Amino acid sequence: MTARSSSAHVAEVEGVRVDTRHWIGGRRVASDATFTDVSPIDEQSIADVHAGGQAEVDAAVTAAREAFGTWAAMPVKQRADILRAVADGVDARRDDLAMVETRDNGSLLRSHLRGVMPRVAMNFRYFADLAEQISHPIDEIRGHRQRVSYDPAGVVAVITPWNAPLMLATWRIGPALAAGNTVVLKPPEWAPLTASLLADIANDAGLPAGVFNVVQGSGARAGAPLTRHPGINRLSFTGSVPTAGVIAEAAAKNIVPLSFELGGKSALLVLDDADLDLAVTLAVEQFDNAGQVCLGAFRVLVHESLHDEFLQRVLASASALVQGDPRDEATDVSALVSRPHFERVRGFVERALADGARAVLGGGPNDDLGGLYFRPTILVDARPGSEILTEEVFGPVLTVQTFATEEEGIALANDTRFGLAATLVTGDPERAERVSARLNAGTVWVNCFFVRDLGAPFGGNGKSGIGREGGAWSFDFYCDVKNTVFAPHGWHAVEGGGDS
């Protein structure tokens, strides 16, 4: 059990001191109310975190608005240099960030050290570099000069989930700040602590007061007043479809543009010419982060000619996964994030089994470990159209279905209201082009999985979200894109002619 500090405002988590107050206007702000932060590893309390509401949100938005003018007017190179200093600070505290987030949300420590925290730093560096490189093209139009420019929009509200809290937050914070906006972050109440550490890092890097603010708390008390606040100009949210509907309704009253990433029910489509070893590897990769990955391909669709051998190999490989404490280097699958989420995942599986599905692997809690550890599970024979095949479980649960023809496989892959991602395995390059073009998803991986570039567009179709972020697409969202047309020098008359 992690030791707790005697200070009312500081928790000691894995030997790292974390201030549990909000960060508003360049200083720590306390609230009368707190909430208990529980670690998924052992369901022990690790911190009493200050819980904000309307007053803290008002203060944070006010601070962000007051800081906006100076930050937006700062030369882009100076802004970029500060963000690179933030990235350096993330690198310097990589171990602290990794250990705290592992304790906070239960994800693997080795993943945080090797991939997640380096990506956090990259989120700042990449967009700092891009802000300096982005062009403001000037074109000639009927003797006039036309210039496209990117003006910062104002105050950006960022609301992020618990499965990768710091990485997903900085994926939005990085471009928002690089574009010249100021930010109010509402971190997830199930994993809020690394957001507080980021505030310290940003402050140490010289980010001016009010440019970045953190208000902690529940969605109802802190998230709701932020989403409906008239002082915000952009809102980026990652989470569930029902919550997104509530947020969209609140933001609509102030005509606030939205960027939503809302999860999925993605398919892993294994055609009859697939490399089986590769297909098995990709299927087992879906158990990463205990299945708490929005991009995961949890509907495995296998050509009927390959099904028996594929399933045999997948069972052998998945059975070898080690489940346990995420701080252990040997662990492959850890716990689910919270007791409510654990019960939600268990409910999905129990209802699927009652509806006729069979568990060929797992199927319930890991009784040897207890707590929030749910066994990696593979279900077959699920009824077409059943809940387990249509709703996002967000846990270590795969379903396996078969198909007879390429056309049927594509139809099954697209038979979802979501459209975040899809993964295709085939040995034929021409077939890869043909089938991938017909898959309804914002991202399609062919013979690979989870290969992401910060310059690529990211987002989902259907119920998986609204908009795209990444590369210049991020600046399209976090900026007001302006077109300015100049008459020839010395002209005073207005030349008409309409659009062309």
Which tens digits make up the pLDDT trace of 25-66? 999 999 999 999 999 999 999 999 999 999 999 999 999 999
Report, as an integer, the average pLDDT of 414-423: 97
The CATH class given to the 10-262+464-483 domain equals alpha beta
pLDDT 10s digits, 340-363: 999 999 999 999 999 999 999 999
Report the CATH number of the 267-446 domain.
3.40.309.10
416 DSSP 8-state letter: S
- Give the separation between CA 483 and CA 32, rounded to whole angstroms: 48
Query: Is 261 designated active site?
Result: yes
Is there a shared CATH topology between the 10-262+464-483 domain and the 267-446 domain? Answer: no
- Give the separation between CA 92 and CA 182, rounded to whole angstroms: 24
Averaged pLDDT of the chain: 95
pLDDT value at position 135? 77
List the chain domain ranges: 10-262+464-483, 267-446
CA count, 13 A, side-chain hemisphere, 425? 26
pLDDT value at position 227? 98
Range scoring the smallest mean pLDDT among 175-184, 220-229, 268-277, 479-488: 479-488
- Give the separation between CA 461 and CA 365, rounded to whole angstroms: 33
74 has pLDDT over 60:
yes
Question: Higher model confidence: residue 59 or residue 494?
Answer: 59
Helix, strand or coil for residue 313?
helix
6 has pLDDT over 80:
no
SS (H, E, C) 322-361: CECCCCCCCCCECCCCCHHHHHHHHHHHHHHHHCCCEEEE
What residues have CB less than 8 Å from 392, skipping those under 6 apart?
Answer: 263, 264, 265, 418
468 has pLDDT over 80:
yes
- Give the separation between CA 327 and CA 137, rounded to whole angstroms: 50
Report, as an integer, the average pLDDT of 166-188: 98
- Give the separation between CA 399 and CA 381, rounded to whole angstroms: 8
Query: Is 479 designated active site?
Result: no
Helix, strand or coil for residue 161?
coil
φ/ψ bin of 155: left (φ > 0), alpha (ψ from -120 to 50), beta (otherwise): beta
The DSSP H or E segment spanning 250 is helix 241-252
**Runs of H (alpha helix) within 93-164:** 94-105, 109-111, 117-133
Of the listed 56, 101, 189, 294, which one is catalytic?
Answer: 294
pLDDT value at position 490? 59
- Give the separation between CA 170 and CA 176, rounded to whole angstroms: 9
pLDDT value at position 377? 98
pTM over 0.85: yes
- Please tell me the total number of residues recorded for the chain in this structure: 500
- Give the separation between CA 80 and CA 129, rounded to whole angstroms: 7
Q: Which long-range contacts (CB under 8 A, 24 or more apart) does 315-318 make?
A: 315/360, 315/361, 315/378, 317/280, 317/281, 317/284, 318/283, 318/284, 318/287, 318/361, 318/376, 318/378
410 DSSP 8-state letter: H
Best CA proximity match to 18, nearest among 60, 48, 51 = 48
pLDDT 10s digits, 235-268: 999 999 999 999 999 999 999 999 999 989 999 9
Q: Which two tokens stand for residue 311?
A: 């399933």
pLDDT value at position 488? 87
Of the listed 56, 101, 261, 392, which one is catalytic?
Answer: 261
pLDDT 10s digits, 119-175: 999 999 999 999 999 877 788 888 899 999 999 999 999 999 999 999 999 999 999
3 has pLDDT over 50:
no
Q: Which two tokens stand for residue 231?
A: 């002082």
CA angle 331, 333, 335 (to 5 degrees): 110
42 DSSP 8-state letter: T
- Residue the block writes with tokens 């006729």: 356
Q: How confident is the model at residue 7 (pLDDT cuts 50, 70, 90)?
A: low
8 has pLDDT over 90:
no
493 has pLDDT over 60:
no
